[in-house]
Amino acid sequence: MLLTGAQRAEIEKARAEKVEQARINAVSQLLATGMDVAQVAQILSFTVEEVISCPLVSFV
């Protein structure tokens, strides 16, 4: 089955959203265990800035 450009774009958008949600979940879960931002960044191979900028994650 051949996909149109719009269909491919929609599939890619859905994939990117799933990846972003997985990133948010991973960061949130690791922070909930008591890890600090630097530890989470190291475990996930992210920069500290990527962890801090993760939406829905609050740093108190």
Please name which of 44, 42, 47, 12 lies closest in space to residue 26, comparing C-alpha atoms: 44
21-51 confidence digits (pLDDT tens): 999 999 999 999 999 999 999 999 999 999 9
Q: Which pair of tokens denotes residue 25?
A: 């979940």
| Angstrom distance (rounded) from CA 26 to CA 19 | 11
Q: What is the pTM of this model?
A: 0.77
47: helix, strand or coil: coil
Contact 26, 44 (CB under 8 A): yes
Res. 54 pLDDT band, cuts 50 70 90 = confident
Domain assignments of the chain as residue spans, ordered by start: 7-52
